[in-house]
Structure 1
């Protein structure tokens, strides 16, 4: 049964949207950074490098101009920017915003900055729990092209250090400045949660739903933004250029069953996957935090031990909800973590049980064996040394590259 379903997924001729066949332009999602709150105080006994502890400390709200830089997985002639206050508890007022094509660092290419409006107004107040979508703006951007988006926030925005994205900030309203004067950098969860592009050649969108091993937010420019970005690079360079685009719905610390660092995957599936314009597949690669934080945990205190059957039931719910929305589910096996602070033999047994189910149940529409891609062939319960970031659970850039390279693009079917 498993092989029949896998073969069917691989051979299925998935028709392109009718819009692509007719040449009519449509809007599709081309970038995502899933909103997430991080209600967490670093325990004094937790061993962290001084620079990491400093970066993650609580800070006062940010005021002035905040600028973000990121790549889009699909190109188009117009863009719309999605701002989020979905995890906020007070209204967020943005008095001005802009988008442009990225140059060096956080600078914009001359002549490309466009002022954004929201329902025709330059200022917008986002109520708690809600996003806003900008009006369309003419800004041609190619596939894997990089944008800079700026927001002017005079009343302050609380950024959580665990958000892990580096942003530039400067005083006052500098949204139309090609280079922000007196710029400093700050780490946090970006208020830009998405970008839509308008195109007559829409790819099928693949959403990578995961935790920190997926999350593309990085604390320095120029870093590989995880395995989804590497997969996008391969797709863009592949012969015939498959009509696919991968967007990243990873949240560091996220879990399938429990809300802590961001809403549980079960709680955020509709927001981060089902609502995405153009989505055809989701890569579900979560569960190591459910396993690693069951029972006693340095970071999350004492929790009930994880029931593997409950985690599998969570996977089944995501598969059912995805199929109800005509979305195929490709699952990634959980990667090794021996040597990490959360590791013990009982949790390793749970990881093995979960991976057996992923590989053999036949319930996902396809499987990516990330475990096999990054494990040490000599000591398979550990990450390969040259793929290990040093904490024995997160891959380094070599590991992320290996993960992206391990994905068989054919698992997403062929466009007809």
Structure 2
């Protein structure tokens, strides 16, 4: 039996030890909530960066309160822009106590670059605190290797270690780092003791890595011999970029998540969009979750909360957001067996309403065809067509991108065009995602004010 599996067998006892360790590690600042003293508690709430990250601006400014569990205030005062994000979907199967004594090296792909970076870590779906012993960020050189000279230790309120409360999240202090456009970053976390279930994103389509021991400062990556296809604890990376014009959030289900595209190829439709926007200095954040719906929560199935429920956290609370593209509703028909198209479009309108409260423009997609999928029925197709008719008629979103027309077979409109079909009749191939990413009007994405519905 290897060492980290042995921890899991002692889970009940170790769970108690984790709480004790939080107090023991307190000498080096583990507890992130309720541990700041006088000056922190009285920090000027107008400092939006401090309020978001729980730190100063990196230039000696005051520190603000951390956001409440599961929430983060959007950063705007000093040009923080999201370069990468993912939506927490549930808890990792078979890991009830996390990965004690191990380092987790998440590999993520940037959209916009910058001169400084910060990361968001989430313990959203755990009933127990999560101890992070050390954390680091570096520019990726392929696989788990870091580009020479780019590895930076992360801190939280100036401390190397932190405890993330059950159900909570924390944002790191900023670090000076030349973050590339369209490049890889390595965000590495060491979890010294057992926690609760791992909050994660199950369909990364990107290879990340695990190693035994504290390997957060290892630039070679040689010890990271265990690959994995998920993202653990990490939910966002933001950058500072003086040329930034904000970020676009792609919000949806597995089709936004990129299921059907090649692993490590960054060929999801939001990736294609990010390539097109890079010269305009606009970030793209992928908040798709496989199996997600507009109306039903499916956290237990690792398909996330409903789109309406998670919209605040996964869209409105992201840094520098200006526009959201919504492609959601197919799973309400296929998984949720929703037969009333008006309920689906009402949920989509509710998301548009939420976006408008923040002055965001909403571009919505028609629902793509699934005629060759095993879940197809004539009744399901009728619901899809009626949802699409209402979307095209206006009054649901500010603007429409017609992904249905982009990928459907002109000779059999209820099916995906064969060239664009990944093989299951539902998910697009790389070629299909490329066509979708190219279909969006970049001028609409840059329009600031939402249209009146």
Q: Which residue of 2 aligns with 1:146?
A: 184
- List per-residue Cα deviations over 1:289-325 (Å, max 9, x = no partner): 0011134xxxxxxxxx442111111111111111121
Please list, as runs of the form range in 1=range in 2, the aligned pairs for 1:49-198 lying within 5 A after superposition: 58=94, 61-63=98-100, 64-156=102-194, 158-159=197-198, 163-165=202-204, 166-180=207-221, 181=223, 183-198=225-240
1:188 shift after superposition: 2.7
1:143 shift after superposition: 2.1
1:253 shift after superposition: 0.9
TM-score, normalised with respect to structure 2: 0.76
Q: Distance in 1 between matches of 2:259 and 2:146?
A: 20
Q: Which residue of 1 aligns with 2:51?
A: none
Aligned residue for 2:406, secondary structure, equals helix
Q: Which residue of 2 aligns with 1:400?
A: 433
Q: Distance in 2 between matches of 1:97 and 1:217?
A: 29
Structure 2, gaps ≥5 residues long: 1-76
Q: Distance in 1 between matches of 2:260 and 2:375?
A: 22
Aligned counterpart for 1:292 among listed residues 317, 334, 357:
334
1:189 shift after superposition: 3.9
Q: Which residue of 1 aligns with 2:398?
A: 365
Aligned counterpart for 1:37 among listed residues 65, 70, 90:
90
1:190 shift after superposition: 2.6
Q: Distance in 2 between matches of 1:164 and 1:415?
A: 32
Q: Which residue of 2 aligns with 1:281?
A: 323
Aligned residue for 1:155, secondary structure, equals coil
Q: Distance in 1 between matches of 2:234 and 2:208?
A: 11
The structure-2 alpha-carbon separation of the partners of 1:66 and 1:412, relative to structure 1 and needing over 3 Å to count, comes to: same
Q: Distance in 2 between matches of 1:100 and 1:393?
A: 36
Q: Distance in 2 between matches of 1:219 and 1:186?
A: 17
1:363 shift after superposition: 3.7
1:203 shift after superposition: 1.6
Q: Distance in 2 between matches of 1:228 and 1:162?
A: 17
Deviates more, 1:224-233 or 1:162-171: 162-171
Q: Distance in 2 between matches of 1:59 and 1:343?
A: 35
1:150 shift after superposition: 0.5
Residue pair 1:333, 1:355 contacting (<8 A) in 2 also: yes
Q: Which residue of 2 aligns with 1:270?
A: 312
1:38 shift after superposition: 5.7
Residue pair 2:261, 2:428 contacting (<8 A) in 1 also: no
Q: Distance in 1 between matches of 2:365 and 2:324?
A: 11
Residue pair 2:262, 2:430 contacting (<8 A) in 1 also: no
Q: Which residue of 2 aligns with 1:7?
A: none
Residue pair 2:203, 2:259 contacting (<8 A) in 1 also: yes
Residue pair 2:345, 2:396 contacting (<8 A) in 1 also: no
Q: Which residue of 1 aligns with 2:79?
A: 26
Is the counterpart of residue 382 in structure 1 residue 415 in structure 2? Answer: yes
Structure 1, gaps ≥5 residues long: 1-23, 40-56, 296-304
Q: Which residue of 1 aligns with 2:14?
A: none
- List per-residue Cα deviations over 1:16-40 (Å, max 9, x = no partner): xxxxxxxx9521222111111169x
Aligned counterpart for 1:224 among listed residues 266, 271, 290:
266
- List per-residue Cα deviations over 1:344-399 (Å, max 9, x = no partner): 11111111011111111244111111111111112111111121111111111111
Aligned residue for 1:29, secondary structure, equals strand
Q: Which residue of 2 aligns with 1:300?
A: none
Q: Distance in 2 between matches of 1:345 and 1:189?
A: 37
Equivalenced residue count is 363
Aligned residue for 1:228, secondary structure, equals helix
Q: Distance in 2 between matches of 1:212 and 1:407?
A: 18
